[in-house]
Amino acid sequence: MSTFQELGLNEDLLKGITDLGFETPSEVQEKAIPILLNEEKDLVALAQTGTGKTAAFGFPMLQKIDIDSRTTQGLILSPTRELCLQIANEMKAYGKYCKGLNVVAIYGGSSITDQAREVKRGAQVIVATPGRMKDMISRRLVDITKIQYAVLDEADEMLNMGFKEDITDILSGTPEDKNTWLFSATMPKEVATIAKKFMKSPQEITVGHKNESTDTVSHEYYLVNARDRYQALKRLADANPDIFSVIFCRTKRDTQKVAEQLIEDGYSAGALHGDLSQNQRDIVMKQFRSQQIQMLVATDVAARGIDVDDITHVINYQLSDEIETYTHRSGRTGRAGKTGVSMVIVSKSEVRRLKSIERIINKKFELKEIPNGMEICEVQLMSLANKIHNTEINHEIDKYLEDINALFEDTSKDELIKKFFSVEFTRFFNYYQKSKNLNVVAGDTNRESREPSGNAARYFINVGEKDGFDWMKLKDFLKEVLDLGRDDVFKVDCKETFSFFNTEKEHQEKVLAFFTDFKHEGRFVNVEITEDKPSRGGRGRGNSGGGRRRDGGDRKRSGGADRRSSGGGDRRSSRRSEGSGDNNRSDRRRGSEDRPTRSRRSESGDKDKSAFKTTHSRSGRSRRKD
Ligand code: ADP
Ligand code: MG
């Protein structure tokens, strides 16, 4: 193992490194730094999150640029605003002793003129999101013609988010002879393509195995009925009283809902997603970093790359559409040499997807049982006992001791302990006393299971795969437009041009009323009650008789009304620069957060809950005041 000095870093940087407390280079730093310092070469570096990639490109960049010049020489592109700020701050810390260094972060949602002013003062290094960077270039607010080093950080994620075109445009304005350094956790095809297109025979370094998850993380899954997802989450939290976790949901809406519900139920939780204002996001992140919030419920995009150590658990409340995403999620824990657990709550229909993830992370998931009520009571009780045991005595209490002693004069120590613990225990006990077993026995069916209630309504709807849906997307779509709960829409069966779904009968009126006059992408959506049973066969085949295909007529009505027209281009680009994904395409890679219906809802002034207070951290069921 070498030292930073041996890697060839100069005195100023070494001083900064000492201040940061970095003792030895991480593996990716050890491999990348000498190459980047000594060779004028392109580089592709693959390493998991949390392995120290920022310094791996940051140190060499700072050493190679000419700090006496005020020209912009280094450009770092990164997918989100949070990451941009994080990288810019790190770079400033690395370069603390590099006199005259000016690092500027450029990202959407913040004043472009302020950022332009900072650049104008002479920024040797710019850290930018692709959206805002492109904006600045087209308005001639930055000069990228003298860039010598371009870094694509979290390249996989930037491409996931639809930034390919922006990146292409930006890079095409930079000098031919610059060096491009690409850093990524995973190497999907798209990244390889970009590397091929923009880089000249890059040297490739890999830390650990490609796409492999870190060793410090164990992977578990819990098999439950979809409708029990939230209960399962609560039990996982209760069974881990000292949990400090990120909980991932697929959509902004679910993220918000789960966080609200947790807060309502007395947990210290907060939401992080792209519909919150930046100020709200900053607040919630600050609370999370300081561990005022125990459970951060987040979308993939919003939580991307966030560097908070000590996260004990990552909970996949729902799996993402993209299996690659799992690596990023689980990489939030097990950082800085600590161990962590990545938990996945799945319904039967999703179990299959775990297999694909296992292939990517090259690790097996362990099937675990959701703890039952008594187990949780036990854990909580013992946790409390330990806390009391370890508590330092506050002698302010001494003066009240006489009175307290008098009160307990006739109480034995045994009895006193029992009474004392009952205060906490009874609450849990009452809550969990009649709780049921949430675990589902693994079977061979792939269909989502829902106990037959005999009380369900089944509907026909004239949208299907042709409209870009699959059963999961359609379910999300329906939940969203109908404002229904997590598991109120079930048995969704998506065919080519039409689909079926169920709700409880109680929602029937609402469903039918909603779809009397509803357009999706310019086309009327038609929903009717059907007697149809869900198909047993494969998904691709229709199970209805001839008369049911009524989409043809409606299709004619599709006038090509542009759902985007009301959203406005500005909004789109600002959302995107916040890292909400590229709204522009119907590409299935698009983050599920960006569903067409979102904008419709908010545009129609629907009762979307306004951005919610993220400042809660009241002591919860699982956590007493410390
Ligand atoms: P990545 O970009 O690979 O996800 P980061 O660059 O964000 O990782 O680094 C993760 C954390 O590790 C940061 O808190 C960073 O300050 C710290 N770190 C980086 N390099 C070292 C090192 N050599 N020694 C100690 N800590 C380090
Ligand atoms: Mg990074």
pLDDT at 616: 32
Check if the beta carbon of residue 28 is closer than 8 Å to that of residue 204.
Answer: no
Query: How far is the first Cα of the chain from the last one, in angstroms, to the nearest whole number?
Result: 42
Task: Pinpoint the alpha helices (H) of 333-458.
Answer: 348-361, 373-390, 401-407, 413-432
Beta strands in 78-202 (DSSP E): 103-106, 125-128, 149-152, 179-184
Distance of CA 153 from the midpoint of ligand 1 (Å) = 14
- What residue ranges line ligand 1, CB within 6 angstroms? 22, 25-26, 29, 47, 49-55, 307
In whole angstroms, what is the distance from residue 233 CA to residue 251 CA?
A: 17
Question: Ligand 1 centroid vs 127 CA: distance in angstroms?
Answer: 17
Name the amino acid, one letter, at 82: E
What is the 84 CA–ligand 1 centroid distance (Å)?
15
Report phi then psi at 204, rounded to 5: -120, 130
Cα separation, 439 vs 441, whole angstroms = 6
pLDDT at 42: 95
Q: How far is the CA of 87 from the centre of ligand 2 (A)?
A: 8
Backbone angles phi, psi at 11, to 5 degrees: -55, -45
Collapsed DSSP state (helix, strand, coil) of residue 368:
strand
The whole-number pLDDT of residue 124 equals 97
Q: 31: which residues sit within 8 A by CB, 6+ positions away? A: 45, 56, 205, 207
In this structure, which residue's CA is closest to atom 20 in ligand 1?
52
- Which residue CA neighbors atom 26 of ligand 1 most closely? 22
Residue ID of nearest Cα to ligand 1 atom 24: 22
Note the pLDDT tens digit of each residue in 339-365. 889 999 999 888 888 988 888 887 889
If one residue of 1, 9, 22, 205 were mutated to test the ligand 1 pocket, choosing by the most ligand atoms within 8 A of its CB, it would be 22
Nearest CA to ligand 1 atom 17: 52
pLDDT mean values, one per 10 residues, the chain (626 residues): 90 95 92 94 89 95 96 95 92 95 93 95 96 95 96 89 89 94 86 86 78 69 92 94 94 95 93 92 92 94 80 94 86 79 92 86 87 87 87 90 90 89 83 84 48 74 88 87 83 86 89 87 85 48 35 33 30 30 31 27 28 30 33
Rounded distance between C-alpha atoms, residue 34 and residue 51, angstroms: 17
Please give the structure tokens belonging to residue 609: 């809950």
Q: Residues 533-576: pLDDT tens digits?
A: 554 443 333 333 333 333 333 333 333 333 223 333 332 233 22
Longest alpha-carbon distance in the chain: 87
pTM of the entire structure? 0.48
By C-alpha distance, which of 14, 36, 21, 151 is closest to 96?
14
Ligand (nearest to CA of 79): 2
- Is 316 strand, coil or helix? strand
Closest CA to 290 of 233, 321, 244, 325: 244
Q: Whose CA is nearest to atom 12 of ligand 1?
A: 52
Mode of pairing for the β-strands spanning 245-248 and 217-223? unpaired
- For 488, residues 6+ apart whose C-beta sits below 8 A from its C-beta are 479, 482, 503, 504, 507
- Closest residue by Cα to atom 15, ligand 1, is 52
Q: What six digits make up the tokens of 291? A: 């561990």
Distance CA 273, CA 233 (A): 19
What's the 51 CA to ligand 1 centre distance in angstroms?
A: 6
* Strand, coil or helix: 224: strand
pLDDT of res. 103: 97
Instruction: Look at residue 337 in the predicted model and tell me its pLDDT.
Output: 65
Distance CA 136, CA 139 (A): 5
Please check whether residue 62 is in contact with residue 95, taking contact to mean a CB–CB distance below 8 angstroms. Answer: yes
> How many Å lie between the centroid of ligand 1 and the Cα of residue 409?
57
**Which value, to the nearest 10 degrees, does the dihedral of the CA atoms of residues 502, 607, 568, 136 take?**
-110
Cα–Cα distances in Å, from 597 out to 459, 519, 521?
20, 10, 9
Listed in sequence order, the DSSP H helices in 221-333 are 229-238, 252-264, 278-289, 300-303, 325-330
Q: Which domains does the chain have, with CATH numbers?
A: 11-206 (3.40.50.300), 217-372+587-593 (3.40.50.300), 373-432 (no CATH), 456-573 (3.30.70.330)
